[in-house]
Structure 1
Amino acid sequence: MHSSDLVAKVDQTVTGRITDEKGEALQGVTVLLKGTTNGTATGADGSYSLTVPDGNGTLLISFIGYQAQEVPLSNRATVNITLLPDTKALDEVVVVGYGVQRKSDLTGSVASADLEAFREAPNTNIAQSLQGTVPGLNVGQVNSAGGNPSIQVRGANTINGNASVLIVLDGIIYNGSLASINPDDVASIDVLKDASSTAVYGAQAANGVLLVTTRRGKAGKTRIAYTGSYATQTPSVSLRPQNREELLQRIRDLNYTQAYLAPEYTTPNPNFDLTKFVDQIHLNADGTIRTADFNWWDAATQRGYIQDHQLSISGGSEKTTYLVSGGYTKQLGYIINDKFSRKSVRINLETQATKWWKIGAQTFGSFNDFSGEEPTLSDIVRMSPMHEPYDEAGNLIPFPTGTGQANPFLSSDVRDSDKRMTLFGNFYSELSAPFLEGLTYRLNFGNNYRTNNHYYASRWAAGQTGQAYKDLDTNYDYTLDNILTYHKSIGKHDLTATLLYSAIERQYSRTYANATGFSNLTLGYNSLEQGTNQFTSSDAWEEQLNAQMARLNYKYNERYLLTATVRRDGFSGFAANEKYGIFPSAAFGWILTEESFFQFAPINFLKLRAGYGTNGNLTSRYSSLARLEPSAAYVFGDGGTTVFGQQVSTLANPNLKWESTRGLNAGLDFVVLKNRISGSLDYYNNRTNDLLFDVALPTISGFSSIRTNVGNLENAGLELTLTTQNVAAKNFKWSTTFNISGNRNKIIRLVGADANGDGKEDDLVSSNLFIGRSIGTIYDLKSNGFYQVGDDVPAGYYPGTFRIVDANGDGKIDRAGDRVFLGKKEPDYRTSLLNTLEYKGFTFRVFLNAVLGGNSSYLAANNPANNIGGLLDVPSKRLNYLNALDFWSPSNPNALYARSAVSPALAPGVYQNRSFVRLQDISLAYRFSGATINKLHADNLSVFVSAKNLYTWTNWVGWDPETEQGIDDSGRPVLKGYSLGLTVAF
């Protein structure tokens, strides 16, 4: 033992002060001795004091919003430290269309979706990861395997025009299904929301733009990564058809005047004979009620699941990078034969061939299988539980009730092959001019090829003579983009100019062959010639677009920003006189925190934005032309053959042109309280002119309508997003993201007609369009409770039917005079809250999503029919209904829904509020470290569990408020699920 080992180590106190880049004290900074739990925090004056054994070691300095530092002590007793702001969020590069920009330099309303927060969620469609995550981006629910959710940006900008959001995949406009894109391949999604940011896409961008960017390889060692997961799929509500006893009770309640004793009709009548009131299909041969109680819903449903496997290999050198990925996803839905599987492969390559030439390819193939036909859900609900679908031998009974009511399982007992293929590739070449630094030319050649092959054979179809068909359609489109970009910085001036010439062509063709009347259907759709009756049809179209665009991005002295864009678009679908449209925009930004006069310490970053511009909206192809359709058939002479004719189906409009949406956006981006809180606030106001609308024509013209440009629509709203760093200690972090947005639309003008001569434009009541009101206005009769037993009930109405308000006070009830404005379908607000907590290797996330309306907003019709239509309406007496519905009866006078044995003369709609708060996503992941990773020689090993759509708080009655499915016998539930997964990377 050396004598030096016997010398006691002397503790040393290290003191100091921690300040920001401006020399101001930072309070609450964590100061930790590396490798130990020995630490402290700075006081109000930024000072700290820490006892360190032997005066050696390294201090770990961390504070929310600032770059962490490691500071060696080297026996120093005083260590003062200056922390620099962590501007990583502001320095992020976002895709803006035909280029990228730093987030801090944006002048338009551009938002990046937080995809990482939902990587563990059981989502088969990348759009599901966007639900509620970006203010102003409205993504609906999916309730079928492989389904696509609805997507809307900033509400409605059109009435009859195209309402689809434009999707751009790796720089190329993508017209395929999002279900074909492997979510694991997606690196980022940026949302262009205002006119100044979407103007680069001109005539197709009035409804917003989603820029989807896929993953690429990075220089370095080869990385192999695998993620696998399994998720359950079960209904989020418990609706089902009525069982035997519930159905019989409904018959009693409908016939309460016989089933119960007067005058209250709440005491059962002992002499009531139910067999005289049920339909004959519910009776045995001896006249007794059948005892069977078959659960048709249980037979038509199953426990669903999602199985997902993803494998990728990436890497490269300084000159060449690559990513190769493959994925397999299989989803089994809640309804039998609701199936979806996707096999996908992606190859992304890029190489710097020379110092001035870069080439690359971004390609993927997706092979989707939707094979299988579901049973008809509405017939499943309506089928009597007192009958069964199978005979004693297990064979389907075509008509179990002995009537024309077919067995719902006939539609699922078929041979069905529904396979869809997508091949997508963007091949690009980028040249950097050696003679002028900053000048580049990029050529994109994007190809998108899609086929849908649907083959079908059913022995039950065509009156049980058998039917089979093959339906093949093909889509192909190409995009050729020529992009010239010049970037130059001179002193305080920074300039980027972009020029574009783009050409797009889209083609479609379809061939359909159908046959009926088969003596033998063994070969099914592969032998259509065996059918007695054979039919064929075909279809095709093509369209072209071209565009020129110029954009200027200018920044002066790191604080004044300008973006100016003009795009000229041409589209073959518009009339001869209106083939081209021009769409300009301009936006300005001012970073106030770069100004010398702005010295307000709590605000770390503040930028004002304002922009104004115009976008267009396409009409459907050929809508400006007089179109011919096959119609009447003629036979010339006795024994002659049939000759099919054609007739004009639409009128031409040589002046039909684009809808144009002019939009103003004003925004504020901020980072405050030493980078603890960041966010943005936006106000927008859009005005759509020259609305595409089908104007009704007099019957004498021979046509019902003509598409033309009329009217104006206003669309305005507010959006706010906030991200807070609540805690940022060494082992524990907690952050929160809050979003809220509100949108209002209003019809300003329609066709301009003034039939009354009162100087005011007429509403289009038959189209439910009203000047000064929203597109979703609800105009209907108003009810005031029910007519009860003992009331003075007017003719045409009955106890249990709605009491209609005489709105105009003329002493009579009629639809024309007594309808009133009850509210609107649009919500008032959309909001969401994401909390992320990290502790050592654990990451826990919980996400709440909500859509809210008041008493007169976010309403929808929810009108379950429940009457037997009188004694002559025999078919409706046979039908079953959904259970657990709050219908009127003498013993339930304050019910939600009307019920009567006979339909009333007039029935108002039942409108309910769809507001909901949904516990949409929860996930818990653990990432291994230390010895476990070292033994496996892995870069990453993590496991996760997650849950989706766990609970929904709502007053809506029915399947789901977000999907607007109420008491609907053809509805289906939104699914909740629990998943378990593993990620490993080497």
Structure 2
Amino acid sequence: MNNNHILKKGARSYFVWTFFLVFLLSNQIFAQSVTVEGVIKDGSGLTLPGVNVLEKGSSNGVSTDFDGHYKIKLTNSNSVLTFSFIGFKTKEIAAGGKTKIDIVLSEDANTLNEVVVIGYGSVKKGDVTGAVSTLSGNDVRKTPIANVAEALTGRIAGVQVISSEGSPDSEVKIRIRGGGSLTQDSSPLIIVDGFPVNSMSDISPSDIETITTLKDAASTAIYGSRGANGVIIITTKSGKDGKISVNFNMFYGMKKMANEIDVLAPDDFVKWQYEYALLAKGNADSYEKYFGSWQDYDMYKGVKGDNWQKQIYGRTGEVQSRDLAIRGGSDKINFNFNYAHYDETAIMQGSDFKRDNLSLALKSKASEKVDLTFTMRYSNAEINGGGANEQNEVSSNDSRLKHAVGYSPIPMPGLTTDDTDEAVSGYLVNPFVAVADNDRQQFRKNFNMLGSFSWKITDKLVFKTDLGLDNYNYLDSRFYGRSTYYVANKPAATLQGMPALIMSDRKDVRFRNANTLNYDFKKSLGDNHNLKILVGEESINSQRNDVNTTLQGFPKFFDFDQAKKLTSQGKPISVDNYYFADDKLLSFFGRINYDYKDRYIFTATYRADGSSKFADGNKWGYFPAAAAAWKISEESFLKEVSWINSLKVRLSYGEAGNNNIPTGQTVKILESTPSAWIDGTENYWAAPNILYNPDLKWETTVTQNLGLDFDFFKSRVNGSFEMYKNVTKDLLINFLIAGSGYSSQYRNMGETQNTGFEATLNVVAIQKQNYGLNFSFNVGINKNRINSLGVMNGFNPSSTWNSAIDGDYQVKVGQPIGVMYGFKNDGRYEVSDFDFDGTKYTLKPGIANSSGIVGAVQPGSMKLKDLNGDGVVTVDDRAIIGDSNPKYSGGFVINGNAYGFDLSASFNYSIGNDVYNANKVEFTTSTPNGQYRNLSTDMADGNRWTNLDPASGQLVTDPAALTALNANTTMWSPYMNRYVFSDWAVEDGSFLRLNTLTLGYTSPNSLISALGVSKLRFYLTATNVFLLTNYSGPDPEVSTRRKTPLTPGVDYSAYPRSRQLVFGLNLNF
């Protein structure tokens, strides 16, 4: 504890006093006299920040502020002003005694001088040798979003953004080129202003300058142990020279549930209840108790039932966001201040999300050779509600959507759990009770400080040191009411049936220091040679502490709010304080950038990482990479081809590592266990809590990449093509072991492979001063394969939703990750498959018997294929029946503008992926403990097999009559003993979604300048506008079983996605 106190207190004092005082005291902010001023815009009328305005023939110059405004004092009223900006043509205008000059800059045909951020530095876009993609902050802010990761959807080739469901703070997974890890997380490393973070969820979209994605090892190897799954670099806004500018943005919108699962109407529900009672009970007593006699059935026709899905998920949600940015300063010191508030009342009862972000960035030129920066960021998020399901749920019985689908559409007064065994499956829970009894509240707080000192030792040598401190606190309170599976099964017998509360308090502290030396040879090697060398050292120390508290036995009438306020009324079952071993990383790295005649480019990097997660002998990992590029367009045979601006071929090879396992896996760690009784007294004793493995070593990904960049017709057409092969070896696998007293052990075993192709195309179709049209398109093709599993050939992980048979996914050598494993459906058993002796049906010889899987079979039962031909369907007759991996994925964007109006449409798509529709299985099956549940319309009257003669109200047994009764039905009977996963529940999940559609209008300056406003834009944005798919469920973009990455693509009790309409404005002063 003393060390933690010293670390926190010392680091904060260092940042606050050293950097802040240097900024405030070592420089003097002064105002510049103004003789000429104006606003600079592009051809579409948008203002341009950062344009260089220079008095020709002197060093007197300024830059435009965030609103494109500039002020400059000229030494001569007849001086010539030069306006220059990357990507635009330089323009010169004589002042001629004028005091106001507004200009429009035209885009330059050559955009290859744009700067691209890479690891520990930046390069010109034309000199990039790796697979790198960039998204501007303007593109991010065009979409009203809560999570920055959503802005990447469909924007970058080879990058999949997978939102698990539709909750306001739903988990968003990012996969770059498939990801290589097996049982561990394949998420990319995320870097914000040089500092590694766990996710993007607590970053304000309004604070982002650029997002750069590094996809191949030539780009990521500089990050060594953390770059195996790709790297995303986020650069936030910094200060700008010039007058203080104020930017205010806001939006307000409403959202509604987009789709729901159709269920049986009340009359059809009642009809099935009657047939079920006859099939299961042999009489109608259990039906007549609640619905009357069969002769009264007609009274239910036309009755409007309760739509529980709309009552739970159908409220009109509201979303609002406000952010304020203040930016300005001088050439000596400048700043950027940003505050953002996001508030969402979600479509689900009891569900909402709030977040506040505060940031301050200071940048100072302390002297001609010294630059200082200081950044502080604070984020505070509150998430209320348990959602539709949870990643770490105790049982799928507590999933909330199932109650809204399966609960009776009409009142059934007096129905209790004593009347049926349905309490086991939880379907007798009123949906409102299920929501209240599965409540949750989460708080996330994040505070970090970053500072840098840069010293230009000579004209060629620059030293830079970065320091960072990050504090993260996560509080999670989870309430289990009386109706939950947890309360009914987990506590001791005397406490079962009484509410419980589980609280978790997690604290993470991370400290980072990086030191780099950059040497630029400039012209030392002659005009044809350019050489830059970077060497550096980096250390990161991460600490984590968890406190988990379990309280049970609250008074039965307690709700979540009462349990939180009166925790003393619960019995403390456990209070566990975990101090995790420090995660320490020490790194040394270097990079060489060389080009000859700006035509032949070579880059080499090398990094050595030492990690405390591995034992001596395996601590260090070594990660080399090299890349070369050839600018073919600079060769004499293409130099004179006017329509080719640039044509470049890239080739790269590299290695990157992964140590993404918990700390303490290589040493024996003892924990206190109160489970031994001596003479009737509970005693504490110490035992190992893991089966450690001192031989663990680095997981390594080897990447080969071939790329082609092109820029044609004065940049009207540009893009890139990529081919790659990634092989990940020495996989860090959480290996299941039996007979040892432990459930699993981390081991290095196996190898995966990803090969693919990516294409990006950008086209400027129309580019005029008052109107324009452009579009961009990208596609990614990735094929995943397991090359080796070490001592294993394969295993079968379980999605654990409610399937009767575990192991519904398969991990096997030669197959991709994410394949579904189950039975092949063979329709249903027909009357002709049986012999009838007047009292019962018996399967004919040669007809496969599925009773061992589906339960007793009769005409109308589900029929499964007997793959091994032994006449009996068993678990050995399962096969691979689906693949969650898409064949193609990507997106395209269309942008247009005309006379102040702008229109943008963003699409994303996926082709060839399968979805495991577990809802389809559960909501078409009435098991023996599920009499009074509703079904989906897949089992509507006329579709489902029926044994009921509606005229007589009796079951039909005669073969001919039963055949005639079902001549037009297509489905089997819902009456079945188990939930069985077959290929009938595997559906094509291909889709095309219009993700966002925005219409905006920017007011002319002539109307607003008198008010002191430099820009005023109004816009309307619709999200999730339409979805084209053959998938029968609410939405194919879903993945709800997230306990393991090996079971993707399952649709079970997902929080429904919403459709949203937002009105917003951008106001700049």
Q: Could you tell me the TM-score, scaled by structure 2's length?
A: 0.76
Residue 432 (structure 1) aligned to one of 421, 446, 456? 456
Q: Which deviates more from structure 2 when the two are superposed, residues 214-223 or residues 155-164?
A: 155-164
Partners of 1:908 and 1:834 lie apart in 2 by 38
Percent identity, aligned pairs only, is 26
Change (3 A) 1:896 1:682: farther
Q: Does 1:303 align with 2:316?
A: yes
Any conservation in 2 of the 1:363–1:425 contact (CA below 8 Å)?
A: yes
- Residue 278 of structure 1 aligns to which amino acid in structure 2? Y
Paired position in structure 2 for 1:331: 344
Paired position in structure 2 for 1:581: 621
Residue 878 (structure 1) aligned to one of 912, 928, 932? 932
Any conservation in 2 of the 1:515–1:531 contact (CA below 8 Å)?
A: yes
Note the C-alpha offset of 1:277. Answer: 5.8
Partners of 1:137 and 1:547 lie apart in 2 by 28
Change (3 A) 1:677 1:252: farther
Partners of 1:933 and 1:103 lie apart in 2 by 37
The 3-state SS of whatever aligns with 1:156 is: coil
Paired position in structure 2 for 1:804: 864
Residue 708 (structure 1) aligned to one of 747, 753, 758? 747
Change (3 A) 1:311 1:893: farther
Change (3 A) 1:470 1:826: closer
Paired position in structure 2 for 1:978: 1061
- Residue 461 of structure 2 aligns to which amino acid in structure 1? L
Paired position in structure 1 for 2:636: 596
Change (3 A) 1:480 1:253: farther
Residue 98 (structure 1) aligned to one of 120, 127, 130? 120
Partners of 2:548 and 2:734 lie apart in 1 by 30
Change (3 A) 1:455 1:652: closer
Q: Does 1:278 align with 2:287?
A: yes
Paired position in structure 2 for 1:908: 982
- Residue 653 of structure 2 aligns to which amino acid in structure 1? Y
Note the C-alpha offset of 1:386. Answer: 3.3
Q: Which deviates more from structure 2 when the two are superposed, residues 458-467 or residues 799-808?
A: 458-467
Change (3 A) 1:764 1:385: closer
Residue 864 (structure 1) aligned to one of 904, 916, 921? 921
The 3-state SS of whatever aligns with 1:91 is: coil
The 3-state SS of whatever aligns with 1:419 is: strand
The 3-state SS of whatever aligns with 1:409 is: helix
Partners of 1:345 and 1:593 lie apart in 2 by 46
Gap runs ≥5 in structure 1: 1-29, 31-64, 73-82, 259-271, 392-396, 754-761
Q: Which deviates more from structure 2 when the two are superposed, residues 678-687 or residues 955-964?
A: 955-964
Q: Which has the higher helix share?
A: 2
Partners of 2:418 and 2:356 lie apart in 1 by 39
Measured on the aligned residues, the alpha-carbon RMSD in Å equals 3.6
Deviations 1:797-828 (A, max 9, x none): 34444433333444443332x33443522110
The 3-state SS of whatever aligns with 1:231 is: strand
Q: Which deviates more from structure 2 when the two are superposed, residues 316-325 or residues 229-238?
A: 229-238
Any conservation in 2 of the 1:573–1:619 contact (CA below 8 Å)?
A: no
Q: Does 1:539 align with 2:578?
A: yes
Paired position in structure 1 for 2:723: 683
Note the C-alpha offset of 1:208. Answer: 0.6
Note the C-alpha offset of 1:935. Answer: 2.6
- Residue 613 of structure 1 aligns to which amino acid in structure 2? G
- Residue 781 of structure 1 aligns to which amino acid in structure 2? F
Any conservation in 1 of the 2:343–2:354 contact (CA below 8 Å)?
A: yes
Residue 669 (structure 1) aligned to one of 690, 693, 709? 709
- Residue 365 of structure 2 aligns to which amino acid in structure 1? Q
Pairs within 5 Å for 1:120-139: 120-139=142-161
Any conservation in 2 of the 1:882–1:969 contact (CA below 8 Å)?
A: no
Paired position in structure 1 for 2:403: 379
Note the C-alpha offset of 1:231. Answer: 1.7
Paired position in structure 1 for 2:1024: 949
Paired position in structure 1 for 2:325: 312
Paired position in structure 1 for 2:167: 144
Note the C-alpha offset of 1:634. Answer: 2.2
Paired position in structure 2 for 1:347: 360
Any conservation in 2 of the 1:252–1:274 contact (CA below 8 Å)?
A: no
Note the C-alpha offset of 1:315. Answer: 0.6
- Residue 788 of structure 1 aligns to which amino acid in structure 2? E
Q: Does 1:178 align with 2:200?
A: yes
Deviations 1:688-729 (A, max 9, x none): 1112224454x4444454322122211110000000111112
Q: Does 1:234 align with 2:256?
A: yes
Change (3 A) 1:653 1:274: same
Pairs within 5 Å for 1:459-538: 465-468=498-501, 470-490=503-523, 491-518=527-554, 524-533=563-572, 535-538=574-577
Change (3 A) 1:471 1:902: closer
Note the C-alpha offset of 1:605. Answer: 0.6
Residue 828 (structure 1) aligned to one of 875, 883, 887? 887
Partners of 2:914 and 2:573 lie apart in 1 by 49
Partners of 2:375 and 2:969 lie apart in 1 by 59
Q: Does 1:557 align with 2:569?
A: no
Gap runs ≥5 in structure 2: 1-42, 44-86, 95-104, 389-399, 488-494, 797-806, 835-842, 852-856, 947-964, 1041-1048
Note the C-alpha offset of 1:230. Answer: 0.9
Partners of 1:326 and 1:573 lie apart in 2 by 38
Paired position in structure 2 for 1:610: 651
Any conservation in 1 of the 2:945–2:971 contact (CA below 8 Å)?
A: no
Residue 761 (structure 2) aligned to one of 700, 703, 722? 722
Paired position in structure 2 for 1:22: none
Paired position in structure 2 for 1:360: 373
Paired position in structure 2 for 1:419: 443
Any conservation in 2 of the 1:957–1:967 contact (CA below 8 Å)?
A: no
Note the C-alpha offset of 1:511. Answer: 2.0
- Residue 690 of structure 1 aligns to which amino acid in structure 2? D
Note the C-alpha offset of 1:513. Answer: 3.5
Note the C-alpha offset of 1:627. Answer: 4.5
Paired position in structure 2 for 1:932: 1007
Paired position in structure 1 for 2:36: none
Q: Does 1:647 align with 2:668?
A: no
Paired position in structure 2 for 1:158: 181
- Residue 506 of structure 2 aligns to which amino acid in structure 1? D
- Residue 483 of structure 1 aligns to which amino acid in structure 2? T
- Residue 508 of structure 1 aligns to which amino acid in structure 2? R
Partners of 1:906 and 1:920 lie apart in 2 by 34
Q: Which deviates more from structure 2 when the two are superposed, residues 479-488 or residues 454-463?
A: 454-463
Deviations 1:436-486 (A, max 9, x none): 212111111111111123356778576565545653221111111111111
Residue 675 (structure 2) aligned to one of 625, 630, 633? 633
Residue 214 (structure 1) aligned to one of 218, 228, 236? 236
The 3-state SS of whatever aligns with 1:113 is: strand
Any conservation in 1 of the 2:422–2:930 contact (CA below 8 Å)?
A: no
- Residue 1054 of structure 2 aligns to which amino acid in structure 1? G
